[in-house]
Amino acid sequence: MPASAPTVRRDPNKELPPLPILKPDKEKDANKRPRVLLIPPPDLPVPAVQGGAVETLLTHLIRENEKQGRLDLLCASVPDEAARRAAEGLQHTKMLYVARPHGHRRYWPMVFLERCVGIAAPYDPWYQKVQLSLALELPPPDVIVAEGGNLTQCSAISRMFGRKRCLAHLHGQTSGSPAMDTIYGGVLALSEFIRDDYLQNSSLDRRSAYILYNCIDTERFRPAPPPMALRTRLGFGPRDFVVLFCGRLEPDKGIHKLMEALSKLPVPNIRLLIVGSPFFGRTQQSSFLRKLEQQAKALGDRVQFTGYIPNEDLPDYYRLADLVCVPTLVEEAAGLVAMEAMACGRPVLATRSGGMPEYLEGSQAVLVERGENIADQLAWSIRMLYEHPALCAEMGAAGAKRAQDFSVARYYDEFVRIVSEIAQNGGTP
């Protein structure tokens, strides 16, 4: 029989030697593709087969990564058959389709309370299911990006991977707080306005608050001849000066003020085209829409409503317009409509709100102040642009040039730069 191994007895008073610390191979890590986890809100699927602003941005990111392959992406999403089909064949992105647990809607009232009065919402079990699915994903992500929604729900995921590897992508005005500082080591803000607003109530190091301007598909939204057949079908003549409003029909968007401005202009061929509905693609009416329709009656045939128009059809609507107006009355985080209008070579008239001036910088857009006399300012600006077609053409050309700064390729490059820096340094500053 073989001799048994001798028993080694440890002196309980003697300390164990420290475990060796595994130091990262910086040269190897520098050549490794960053592994990035994207966590959008559990509302709409990715790819963006049902629309959604956040979901569309993520889809742009995923598709550009398929072209360039500089990131190893993981993306959580609620399941959807059309989205699964759209994701087939992805080489550089793995989709994590996680179903929402039954009864998840009971958490919504508490989420509303948390956002309004600061009462902590219970943990949404969808995020717990995402966390469990990550336990099987090796290697672990280098960077986790929570893409909007109720950002405090990623607290357990932050504890799992460490806050310095977690970023909150601020897609709108978001209040900083001690709770957010505990979860996230950094933020991505879509404008300086959003970043500065967040940092007012956050102890986050300013170096960890990155600016990532939004993007649009500049291959679809680009200058082209006006679609005269569509313009005629909508009832506009060749001498009409068409002002376009595009967006959700709600008071904050300022469409009623734009209609008031039109009533102050005794020029029959200055006309208004309203593209949008109160509830995106749904057909429900709203009390505000009924008020708009009453306003429109007083203006006769000078106002046309199209209802909801799918995003893929919007470029032609921008191109048929002589002027695009964004009269928002609240702090606009970025101004997607203004970006799309610029990309199509249309002059823009907008209010000075939120991050809008940052996006319109260099486009020669006309900005008016919000306030009691906003309708008068809009009316004066529309009349001035109507009387100066050469200025409109100059603004359109400048806007089209400025819009190239918001291409998908530029957005991807900046995103890669930020997450690569964080991954290489082992976290945010």
Provide the pLDDT confidence category of residue 23 given band limits of 50, 70 and 90: very low
Token pair 């469409």 in the structure block, residue: 255
Q: What is the pLDDT of residue 138?
A: 87
| Cα–Cα distance for residue pair 343/346, rounded to 1 Å | 7
Closest by alpha carbon to 123, among 153, 98, 93, 164? 153
Determine what percent of the chain is predicted with pLDDT higher than 90: 80
| Cα–Cα distance for residue pair 300/355, rounded to 1 Å | 35
Rounded mean pLDDT, 78-88 = 97
139 close to 35: Cβ distance less than 8 angstroms: yes
**Whether residue 79 has pLDDT greater than 60:** yes
Rounded mean pLDDT, 355-378 = 97
Residue with the bigger pLDDT between 394 and 23: it is 394
Which residues of the chain form CATH 3.40.50.2000?
Answer: 29-215+408-425, 228-405
For residue 155, give the H/E element and its range.
Answer: helix 155-161
Provide the pLDDT confidence category of residue 30 given band limits of 50, 70 and 90: low
Instruction: Count each helix (H run) and each strand (E run) in the chain, helices first.
Output: 17, 13
What are the structure tokens assigned to 13, written together?
A: 């008073």
Q: What is the pLDDT of residue 278?
A: 82
- The reply to whether CATH 3.40.225.10 applies to domain 29-215+408-425 is no
Provide the pLDDT confidence category of residue 116 given band limits of 50, 70 and 90: low
Token pair 């960890």 in the structure block, residue: 208
What are the structure tokens assigned to 323, written together?
A: 């002027």
Q: What is the pLDDT of residue 406?
A: 98
pLDDT in tens, 274-322: 999 886 555 567 899 999 999 999 999 999 999 999 889 999 999 999 9
> Could you tell me whether strands 72-77 and 35-39 are parallel, antiparallel, or unpaired per DSSP bridges?
parallel
Closest by alpha carbon to 317, among 275, 254, 348, 360? 275
- CATH fold label, 228-405: Rossmann fold (3.40.50)
Provide the pLDDT confidence category of residue 19 given band limits of 50, 70 and 90: very low
Rounded mean pLDDT, 146-174 = 95
What is the layout of strands, in order, in the sheet containing 166-170?
93-97, 72-77, 35-39, 143-147, 166-170, 186-189, 209-211
Residue 321, Cβ density class (10 Å: 0-12 exposed, 13-18 middle, ≥19 buried): buried
What are the structure tokens assigned to 39, written together?
A: 């966590």
Provide the pLDDT confidence category of residue 112 given band limits of 50, 70 and 90: low
Q: Where are the beta strands (DSSP E) in 224-344?
A: 241-246, 270-275, 303-307, 323-326
| Cα–Cα distance for residue pair 73/36, rounded to 1 Å | 5
**Whether residue 18 has pLDDT greater than 70:** no
**Whether residue 330 has pLDDT greater than 90:** yes
Closest by alpha carbon to 234, among 315, 300, 301, 281? 301
**Whether residue 2 has pLDDT greater than 50:** no
Rg of the chain in Å (alpha carbons): 26
- Give me the torsion for CA of 377, 380, 382, 387, rounded to 10°: -160
Provide the pLDDT confidence category of residue 135 given band limits of 50, 70 and 90: confident
Determine what percent of the chain is predicted with pLDDT higher than 70: 86
Q: What is the pLDDT of residue 24?
A: 44
| Cα–Cα distance for residue pair 246/320, rounded to 1 Å | 13
Residue with the bigger pLDDT between 182 and 52: it is 182
Q: What is the pLDDT of residue 27?
A: 52
pLDDT in tens, 247-274: 989 999 999 999 999 999 999 999 999 9
| Cα–Cα distance for residue pair 342/350, rounded to 1 Å | 12
> Which residues, in sequence order, are bridge partners of residue 94?
74
For residue 74, give the H/E element and its range.
Answer: strand 72-77
CA distances in angstroms from 97 to 74, 216, 345, listed in the order given: 10, 25, 39
Task: Quickly count: other Cβ atoms within 10 Å of residue 286's Cβ.
Answer: 13
pLDDT in tens, 119-133: 445 568 999 899 999
Phi/psi of residue 293, nearest 5 degrees: -65, -35
Closest by alpha carbon to 90, among 67, 70, 106? 67
| Burial per residue of 129-142, b for 16 or more beta-carbon CB atoms within 10 angstroms, e otherwise | bbbeebeeeeeebb
